[in-house]
């Protein structure tokens, strides 16, 4: 210690003996420079002044030094921020103009400015993570028929993924939903951006157009089919609906979930009226919606896309069954939910739900009481006593319980598949299977009717000895109600998306519940 003080005193004596104009030699540590740029220490007090815990932890993990200035992935981050719309985000909610201006002047910035630039990049990345992982809006604040568990990814963990060198792409992919339908939307946005900007005048058509018909609207239809690349640009633009155009129309119809019959009707014309901007808004709405859906799916699950009228049964990422379905109307919507299948009911009875009771059964019964007999509906009072037609009182009709007997006439058909949910909806058969041939199958009262439900039920129970198709048919013929537990873990996800891409082509579905534009407007306001 004495030697230490001696050195200090000697230093000051020597310093004082220096000439006034002779500089004092002091070793100053140089700023570390990598091949990419500077690494600058950041004052922790300055970081704390930002009042952002994520920011503080991020830089603490980098020993409180700038990160992006010397990180060759800064270019990737700049590209990510400049292309946030590919993730359905609003570019104006990010500091992309300021960031790009700073990047242009990066070699002329002093150290304080470089620190601020580095922090600004991290703040925008943190903002991106928040919006890209869970979405901007909360569906429960928008809708009363959504029952999905809110996604709560670890934002800090997602941010710290970027501190791992050479893992930028992995870090970005960890933020986004993992389902292939989400990535198909990203691809759809990229595909759409390749189309030129063009506004369409609204087309209208009375009646239908078929092969060899002539109409003044056909030249414009051909132009739009050429625009969307369903029709070759060398096509003769005249008023004749020729075979080449019919083939293009069928392709267009297939991409839009319409009956691919080549007949041009109101549905086809309506789809042709969508511009590039309209479709972009639709894709952005769907990207936001997918951020609300489950981030991970189980090994076995049923996924239903309401606007596509389709059900898929997935096992270990492989689609083993696909079924047509019928869903709720715009007034009686099928809810969006996730649940776990519990049991199957063969020869189910049907207790008429309140909405159908109020809007259908009671008005029809008041007009003609034989309606109840024709529908094989038994009425019970509050004491569970049968109410005869003579004693049925329309004044207290709502207080009764109405149960339809099992049988082929039953509205639920011959089987229903149950899962817990607060909306009392389920999957079921139907007593009118001809509806599955319809193009618009938004006609139920909220539950989901499934085509070929016995085949699906056999796979769900997965007991080929006791519950194969023959044994199922045998039980059904007896006409007695029987419950069968689904012992394995099979989940169900009833979701809603109207846009995707497939094999490099854009696909859209009719927005049957009118959710897309409303959601897009909320995202941009």
Report the candidate in 440, 406, 163 with the shortest Cα–Cα distance to residue 326.
440
- Please give the sequence-ordered ranges of beta strands (E in DSSP) within 37-175, or none if there are none: 38-39, 146-147
Helices 111-134 and 276-292 pack at an angle, to 10 degrees, of 80
Q: Which of 14-18, 181-185, 229-233 has the lowest mean pLDDT?
A: 14-18
Catalytic residue among 179, 256, 323, 428: 428
Alpha-carbon distance of 282 to 506, in angstroms, equals 12
Give yes or no for residue 3 having a pLDDT over 70: no
Superfamily of domain 298-498: L,D-transpeptidase catalytic domain-like (2.40.440.10)
Distance of CA 220 to the CA centre of its chain: 33
Q: Residues for the chain: how many in total? A: 525
State residue 25's pLDDT score. Answer: 35
Higher pLDDT pick, 333 / 71: 333
For the ranges 63-72, 102-111, 171-180, 335-344, the one whose mean pLDDT is highest: 335-344
For the ranges 19-33, 60-74, 99-113, the one whose mean pLDDT is highest: 99-113
Percent of the chain with pLDDT over 70: 92
State residue 86's pLDDT score. Answer: 87
Give yes or no for residue 19 having a pLDDT over 60: no
Q: Which of 38-52, 55-69, 164-178, 197-211 has the lowest mean pLDDT?
A: 164-178
| Residues 501/287, Cβ–Cβ less than 8 Å | no
State residue 70's pLDDT score. Answer: 81
For residue 44, the SS3 value is helix
Helices 516-524 and 276-292 pack at an angle, to 10 degrees, of 80
- The verdict on whether 428 is a catalytic residue reads yes
Structure token digits, residue 432: 């009118």
Distance of CA 81 to the CA centre of its chain: 22
Question: Residue 87 class from Cβ within 10 Å (0-12 exposed, 13-18 middle, 19+ buried)?
Answer: buried
Q: Which of 15-19, 164-168, 172-176, 205-209 has the lowest mean pLDDT?
A: 15-19
Alpha-carbon distance of 94 to 98, in angstroms, equals 9
For the ranges 18-32, 70-84, 171-185, 239-253, the one whose mean pLDDT is highest: 239-253
Radius of gyration, CA atoms only, the chain: 32
pLDDT digits (tens, 9 = 90+) for 276-287: 999 999 999 999
Name the pLDDT band for 37 (thresholds 50, 70, 90): low
| Residues 449/388, Cβ–Cβ less than 8 Å | no
- State the CB neighbour count (10 A cutoff) for residue 210: 13
Alpha-carbon distance of 349 to 346, in angstroms, equals 9
Alpha-carbon distance of 271 to 440, in angstroms, equals 14
Give yes or no for residue 495 having a pLDDT over 50: yes
Structure token digits, residue 9: 């005193």
Alpha-carbon distance of 10 to 395, in angstroms, equals 109
- State the CB neighbour count (10 A cutoff) for residue 355: 12
pLDDT digits (tens, 9 = 90+) for 150-162: 999 999 999 999 9
Q: What is the DSSP string of 385-436?
A: PEEPTTT--GGGGGGSEEEEPSSTTSTTTTEEEE---TT---EE--S-GGGG
Q: Are strands 38-39 and 32-33 parallel, antiparallel or unpaired?
A: antiparallel
Helices (H), 414-502: 453-461, 469-478
Q: Are strands 318-328 and 448-450 parallel, antiparallel or unpaired?
A: antiparallel
| Residues 390/372, Cβ–Cβ less than 8 Å | no
DSSP summary character for residue 342: -
Report the candidate in 134, 126, 154, 144 with the shortest Cα–Cα distance to residue 58.
126
Catalytic residue among 179, 256, 323, 447: 447
pLDDT digits (tens, 9 = 90+) for 362-407: 999 999 989 999 999 999 999 999 999 999 999 999 999 999 999 9
Give yes or no for residue 14 having a pLDDT over 80: no
Per domain, the residue ranges of the chain are 32-176, 298-498
pLDDT digits (tens, 9 = 90+) for 399-442: 999 999 999 889 999 999 999 999 999 999 999 999 999 999 99
Alpha-carbon distance of 264 to 466, in angstroms, equals 49
CA angle 33, 36, 42 (to 5 degrees): 55
Alpha-carbon distance of 512 to 496, in angstroms, equals 10
Q: What is the mean pLDDT of residues 492-501?
A: 98
State residue 443's pLDDT score. Answer: 95
């Amino acid at each position: 210690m004495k030697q230490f003080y001696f050195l200090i005193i000697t230093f000051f004596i020597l310093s004082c003996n220096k000439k006034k104009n002779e500089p004092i030699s002091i070793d100053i540590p140089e700023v570390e420079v990598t091949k990419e740029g500077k690494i600058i220490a950041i004052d922790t007090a300055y970081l704390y002044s930002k009042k952002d815990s994520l920011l503080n932890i991020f830089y603490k993990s980098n020993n409180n030094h700038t990160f992006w200035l010397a990180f060759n992935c800064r270019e990737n981050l700049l590209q990510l921020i400049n292309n946030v719309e590919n993730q359905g985000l609003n570019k104006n909610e990010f500091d992309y103009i300021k960031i790009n201006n700073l990047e242009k002047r990066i070699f002329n910035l002093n150290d304080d400015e470089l620190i601020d630039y580095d922090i600004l990049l991290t703040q925008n990345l943190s903002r991106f993570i928040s919006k890209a992982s869970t979405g901007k809006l909360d569906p429960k604040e928008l809708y009363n028929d959504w029952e999905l568990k809110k996604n709560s990814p670890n934002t800090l963990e997602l941010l710290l993924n970027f501190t791992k060198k050479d893992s930028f792409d992995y870090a970005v992919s960890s933020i986004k939903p993992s389902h292939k339908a989400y990535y198909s939307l990203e691809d759809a946005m990229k595909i759409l951006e390749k189309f030129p900007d063009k506004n369409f005048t609204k087309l209208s058509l009375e009646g239908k157009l078929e092969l060899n018909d002539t109409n003044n609207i056909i030249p414009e239809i051909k132009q739009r089919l050429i625009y969307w690349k369903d029709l070759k640009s060398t096509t003769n633009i005249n008023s004749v609906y020729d075979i080449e155009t019919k083939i293009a129309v069928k392709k267009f119809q297939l991409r839009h979930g319409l009956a691919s019959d080549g007949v041009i009707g109101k549905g086809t014309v309506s789809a042709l009226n969508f511009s590039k901007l309209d479709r972009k808004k639709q894709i952005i709405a769907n990207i936001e919606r997918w951020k609300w859906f489950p981030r991970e799916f189980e090994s076995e699950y049923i996924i239903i896309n309401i606007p596509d009228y389709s059900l898929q049964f997935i096992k270990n990422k492989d689609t083993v069954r696909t079924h047509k379905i019928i869903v709720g109307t715009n007034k009686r919507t099928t809810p969006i939910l996730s649940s776990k299948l519990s049991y199957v009911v063969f020869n189910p009875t049907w207790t008429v739900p309140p909405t159908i009771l109020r809007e259908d059964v009671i008005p029809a019964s008041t007009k003609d009481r034989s309606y109840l007999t024709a529908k094989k509906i038994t009425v019970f009072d509050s004491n569970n006593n049968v109410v005869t037609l003579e004693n049925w009182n329309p004044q207290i009709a709502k207080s009764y319980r109405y149960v339809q007997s099992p049988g082929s006439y039953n509205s639920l058909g011959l089987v229903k598949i149950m899962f817990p949910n607060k909306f009392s909806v389920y999957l079921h058969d139907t007593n009118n299977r001809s509806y599955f041939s319809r193009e618009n199958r938004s006609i139920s009262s909220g539950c989901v009717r499934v085509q070929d439900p016995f085949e699906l039920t056999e796979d769900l129970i997965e007991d080929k000895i006791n519950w194969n198709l023959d044994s199922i048919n045998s039980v059904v013929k007896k006409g007695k109600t029987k419950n069968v537990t689904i012992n394995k873990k099979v989940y169900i996800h009833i979701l809603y998306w109207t846009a995707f891409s497939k094999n490099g082509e854009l696909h859209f579905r009719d927005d049957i519940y009118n959710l897309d534009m409303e959601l897009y407007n909320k995202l941009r306001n």
